[in-house]
């Protein structure tokens, strides 16, 4: 067993927030255009899983020690499974089960691959623990597997963050209480998550970037969704992960090198003004300098007590303060990867999703390939059932289209 490497604050935070009810996993899904060779896929997954940076796992902490990454010398588990699916509804149930399944940090590698074979073709679902992989890292992991499958050279490395990263924005006690998305069809207390996958045209606007338009459309969707259901109005706050890798390594590197910023959308903004306001807040959030985790969270995740005690304290504080401090919804847009994962020569439909922890209960995640924006609406079961999540996704596409085609829709 190699040298133990202590967790960073970001890694420890993502480990603490992982529960059996809310597995803290990042999800990437790829639909190859042709049937896969099962033996070649197994070889590719095993090759990647055997790398020392990939096969590592976590060992526990004591009173004054942080959890540590260790290399056990080989994978603890077989990360690949092969299953069948009958139709799209069956595939959706399979996906929901995978997103709801815990992924322990104590058995490496900290990812699992499901090769689903059905009448509609092959589907490859990758799940990676958020303590070890952010969205870019999970995409890079899938890309590495597909490159090994295609016989191309690969390079595995840990992500590097820029030396002066922006600070995570802690919610102020004087900030307005964020509105919650009105639930519909959900089951209170039901663990796990579901997902709705859609694709659309890439939104364009003279008022901001694709990401700015997406954030503005999400804020507008939440407001309209709640108004249609008689829910109280309030501040719509959108959590947006930010990649802190240097530009030279923007699309590569395993690990968790993302941080969170918050955009608050005003209810009276018209389309162009809303997008411009989002753009200004995103620019300001990226410009703030400081550590990637607030000092309060650094204290709480420090080695002041055994790991189990810290987890209980963090879970209790999250439950007590979440409704007051947690943002309304999360949007994570990976953008347009220059070399997207694919098992064949041509671009393949690709989706990605971030965790949707309560009380937010919903994350909207996106990645662009072949001039198509692929969106995953990942929801907690207490918030939505599948038809309600589909309705919300449809409403979001409508808002996205209106902000793209008309600067001042009303």
Cross-strand bridge partners of residue 195: 378
* Confidence (pTM): 0.91
pLDDT tops 50 at residue 408? no
Place of tokens 């006690």: 173
Cross-strand bridge partners of residue 128: 26, 111
Alpha-carbon distance 333 to 129, whole Å? 18
pLDDT tops 90 at residue 247? no
Note the pLDDT of residue 110.
96
* Residue range 242-262: mean pLDDT, rounded: 87
Note the pLDDT of residue 169.
46
Closest CA relative to residue 46, chosen from 152, 149, 124:
149
- What are the boundaries of each domain within the chain? 5-405
Note the pLDDT of residue 374.
98
* Residue range 121-146: mean pLDDT, rounded: 96
Q: Band of the pLDDT at 60, cuts 50, 70, 90?
A: confident
DSSP 3-state assignment of 140? Answer: helix
| Chain centre to alpha carbon of residue 266 | 25
Range list of β-strands (E), 287-371 = 329-333, 350-353, 362-369
pLDDT tops 90 at residue 366? yes
pLDDT tops 80 at residue 230? yes
* Residue range 205-215: mean pLDDT, rounded: 91
Name the least confident of 148-157, 197-206, 263-272: 263-272
pLDDT tops 50 at residue 407? no
Going by C-beta distance under 8 Å and a sequence separation of 6 or more, which residues neighbour residue 86? 118, 119
Closest CA relative to residue 318, chosen from 24, 76, 29, 36:
24
Note the pLDDT of residue 342.
97
Note the pLDDT of residue 120.
93
State percent of the chain over pLDDT 90: 63
pLDDT tops 50 at residue 164? no
pLDDT tops 70 at residue 63? no
Higher pLDDT, 66 or 172: 66
Interval 301-354: pLDDT, tens: 666 666 677 777 777 776 766 677 889 999 999 999 999 999 999 999 999 999
* Vertex 394 angle, CA 388 and 399, to 5°: 125
For residue 80, count other CB atoms closer than 10 A to its CB. Answer: 19
Name the least confident of 68-72, 89-93, 315-319: 315-319
| Residue 99, token pair as written in the block | 């997103």
For residue 263, the 8-state DSSP code is E
Name the least confident of 122-126, 282-286, 337-341: 282-286
Alpha-carbon distance 186 to 397, whole Å? 22
Per-residue burial over 349-360, b if 16 or more Cβ lie within 10 Å, else e, is bbbbbbbbbbbb
Note the pLDDT of residue 297.
63
pLDDT tops 80 at residue 409? no
Answer for the pair 169, 260: CB distance below 8 angstroms, yes or no: yes
pLDDT tops 80 at residue 296? no
pLDDT tops 80 at residue 70? yes
| Residue 206, token pair as written in the block | 């003279």
Name the least confident of 11-20, 25-34, 117-126: 11-20
Name the class of domain 5-405. alpha beta
Note the pLDDT of residue 168.
42
């Amino acid at each position: 067993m190699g040298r133990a490497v202590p967790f960073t604050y970001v890694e420890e935070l993502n480990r603490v927030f992982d529960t059996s009810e809310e597995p803290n996993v990042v999800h990437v899904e790829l639909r190859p255009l042709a049937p896969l060779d099962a033996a070649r896929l197994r070889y590719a997954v095993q090759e990647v899983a055997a790398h020392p940076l990939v096969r590592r796992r976590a060992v526990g902490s004591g009173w004054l020690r942080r959890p540590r990454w260790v290399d056990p010398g080989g994978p603890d588990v077989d990360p690949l499974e092969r299953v069948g699916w009958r139709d799209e509804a069956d595939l959706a149930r399979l996906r929901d089960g995978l997103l709801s399944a815990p992924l322990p940090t104590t058995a490496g590698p900290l990812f699992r691959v499901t090769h689903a074979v059905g009448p509609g073709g092959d589907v490859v679902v990758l799940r990676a623990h958020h303590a070890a992989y952010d969205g870019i890292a999970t995409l890079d992991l899938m890309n590495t597997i597909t490159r090994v499958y295609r016989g191309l050279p690969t390079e595995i490395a840990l992500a590097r963050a820029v030396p002066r990263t922006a600070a995570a924005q802690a919610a102020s006690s004087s900030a307005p209480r964020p509105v919650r998305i009105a639930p519909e069809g959900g089951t209170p207390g039901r663990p796990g998550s579901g997902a709705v996958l859609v694709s659309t045209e890439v939104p364009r606007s003279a008022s901001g970037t694709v990401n700015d338009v997406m954030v503005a459309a999400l804020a507008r969707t939440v407001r309209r969704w709640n108004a249609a259901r008689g829910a109280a109005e309030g501040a719509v706050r959108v959590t947006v992960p930010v990649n802190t890798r240097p530009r030279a390594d923007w699309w590569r590197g395993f690990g968790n090198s993302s941080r969170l910023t918050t955009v608050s959308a005003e209810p009276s903004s018209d389309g162009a003004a809303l997008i411009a306001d989002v753009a200004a807040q995103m620019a300001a959030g990226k410009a703030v300098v400081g550590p990637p985790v607030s000092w309060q969270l650094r204290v709480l995740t420090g080695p002041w007590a055994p790991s189990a005690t810290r987890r209980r304290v963090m879970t209790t504080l999250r439950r007590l303060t979440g409704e007051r401090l947690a943002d309304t919804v999360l949007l994570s847009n990976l953008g347009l990867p220059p070399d997207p994962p694919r098992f064949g020569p041509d671009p393949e439909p690709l989706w990605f999703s971030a965790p949707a922890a309560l009380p937010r209960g919903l994350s909207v995640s996106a990645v662009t390939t072949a001039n198509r924006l692929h969106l995953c609406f990942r929801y907690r079961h207490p918030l939505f059932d599948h038809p309600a999540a589909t309705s919300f996704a449809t409403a979001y596409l409508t808002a996205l289209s209106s902000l793209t085609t008309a600067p001042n829709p009303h």
